[in-house]
Amino acid sequence: MGKIKEIEIYELGEKETATPWSSTILILRLTTSDGYVGYGEAPTTLMTLPVYEQLKEVARIFKNKEVTEIEKNVKEFYKHSFYLTVSMESTSALSAFEIASWDIVGKMYSAPIYVFLGGKLRDKIKLYANGWYSNCVKPEDFLERAKELERKGYKAIKFDPFGNQFDNIDEIHLKNAEKIVETLRDNTSLDFLIEFHGRFNAISAIKAGKALQKFNPLFMEEPVHPDQTEALIKFRKNVNTRVALGERVLNKNLFLNYLKNDLVDVIQPDVTNVGGILEAKYSAILADAFGVSVAYHNAFGPIQTAATIQLDANISNFLIQESFENSWPQWKLELIKRGYRIEDGYYIISDLPGLGVEVNEKILEEYKMTGMENFDENEPAWVVKGTFK
């Protein structure tokens, strides 16, 4: 069919205000022997250079391989990569190659990727806004920004109301979080999702969960540190709410423990670190067997979003989709010339082939950068800027 001949890696970036964890993005560009071009993306949160280097390692496997033999090429890297299942650098780099390969296959056959997954189950994708609450600390700060989104047609929002608390939470911050959520519930018609960011021990997570469960959020995300399974078990026993997690779970098999032990209601695989489109699809199928919904994690750039939308269109247990477009800098918005769009709180699916987008290659050249993303010793990179107070 077509062998992968050219492999180009672009680090793009510019100082951002709302999403410091994606102040850089890594874009992969593959070109085949017969001239087809496909794009992938890899996440960079405080690991831009390690992922960049790992993309070069994956390239040694994919170079000169048939682009249509996606699963074969993925398994070949699995064979060589000894730490793949516990290395986010490796799974992220592999995901970019897998996504770019699918983009090319779609273009070869003049069809969107969702066609190869079984076709569309829906034409539009309900989304929730994230990253919108930069510099929000008080309830009135959150309300002002939330009302702006509501006027734009958004139907749902996610936010972290816990300020600078980590591991433990004190009563002042707990009361403030409760007031933030109450204010948004009483003064908007938005669905809301509460982000814990995997930052609390069991006792503090349970205190926060019990204080906020009465507001009936769509889900609470990563209530405890992600490596503390016993803490999650305690949270499940004590808090009556839906739990979502999965952005740090690196393949479908690693979801099984959460599913069979009833520790999760909504899984959140990230197509750019779980292994790509097929692994994200298989994760959804596995969750469906347990009656668990899917809300894919999607916090980086437009290639990731385009890939994720292809899955959202197809899977049967879709719940809602994360969106950062309202918080992106202009260059990131302009990386896509045409393709998917947001309309009245929904992603409208593109019918262009492959990922369904046309990339603006001018942005690939104008926003090249090198090095790690910005670091602030007073505010972790995973928080929305200006909220860790």
Q: What is the pLDDT of residues 328-385, one digit of tens each?
A: 999 999 999 999 999 999 999 999 999 999 999 999 999 999 999 888 899 999 999 9
**Separation CA 246–CA 2 (nearest Å):** 34
Q: Are residues 209 and 77 in the same domain?
A: no
Q: Considering the domain boundaries, does residue 222 fall inside one?
A: yes
Question: Can you state the angle between helices 48-62 and 88-108, rounded to 10 degrees?
Answer: 50
> What does the buried/exposed string (b/e) look like for 327-353 if buried means 16 or more CB atoms within 10 Å of the residue's CB?
bbbebbeebbeebbebeebbbebbebb
Q: Are residues 181 and 33 in the same domain?
A: no
Mind giving me the DSSP string for 59-88?
A: HHHHTTSBTT-HHHHHHHHHHH-TTGGG-H
Q: Considering the domain boundaries, does residue 252 fall inside one?
A: yes
Q: Are residues 18 and 166 in the same domain?
A: no
Give the residue numbers marked as catalytic: 197, 297
Please give the pLDDT value at position 15: 75
CB-based burial label for 48 (10 Å; 0-12, 13-18, 19+): buried
373, 301 in Cβ contact below 8 A?
no
Our count of domains for the chain comes to: 2
Token couple for 372 = 């790690």
CB-based burial label for 210 (10 Å; 0-12, 13-18, 19+): middle
DSSP annotation of 5: E
Token couple for 17 = 């205000």
Token couple for 20 = 């410091």
Please give the pLDDT value at position 314: 98
Residues 6+ apart with CB under 8 A from 254: 85
Mind giving me the DSSP string for 18-72?
A: S-GGGSEEEEEEEEETTS-EEEEEE--TTTHHHHHHHHHHHHHHHTTSBTT-HHH
| Domain CATH number, residue 326 | 3.20.20.120
Q: What is the pLDDT of residues 296-321, one digit of tens each?
A: 999 999 999 999 999 999 999 999 99
Full-model pTM: 0.97
Q: Are residues 119 and 78 in the same domain?
A: no
Residues 6+ apart with CB under 8 A from 255: 246, 249, 264, 267, 269, 283, 286, 287
Q: Are residues 89 and 199 in the same domain?
A: no
Please give the pLDDT value at position 382: 93
Pairing verdict, β 321-323 and 124-129: parallel
Q: Considering the domain boundaries, does residue 389 fall inside one?
A: no
Please give the pLDDT value at position 329: 93
Q: Are residues 262 and 289 in the same domain?
A: yes
Per the structure, the complete domain to which residue 285 belongs is given by 114-356
CA atoms lying within 13 Å on the CB side of residue 291 = 4
Q: Considering the domain boundaries, does residue 57 fall inside one?
A: yes
Largest CA distance in the chain: 63
Last residue of a domain, one of 64, 85, 111: 111
Q: Are residues 225 and 337 in the same domain?
A: yes
Q: Considering the domain boundaries, does residue 381 fall inside one?
A: no
Q: Considering the domain boundaries, does residue 386 fall inside one?
A: no
Mapping DSSP to helix (H, G, I), strand (E, B) and coil, where does residue 159 land? strand
Q: Are residues 120 and 260 in the same domain?
A: yes
> Which stretches of the chain score pLDDT less than 70?
none
Q: Considering the domain boundaries, does residue 380 fall inside one?
A: no
Q: Are residues 85 and 127 in the same domain?
A: no
Q: How many residues does the chain have?
A: 389
Please give the pLDDT value at position 16: 73
251, 49 in Cβ contact below 8 A?
no
Mind giving me the DSSP string for 339-388?
A: S-EEETTEEEPP-SSBTS-EE-HHHHHHTB--SPPP--TTS-TTSPTT--
CB-based burial label for 234 (10 Å; 0-12, 13-18, 19+): middle
Q: Are residues 82 and 124 in the same domain?
A: no
Q: Considering the domain boundaries, does residue 376 fall inside one?
A: no
Token couple for 233 = 């078990």
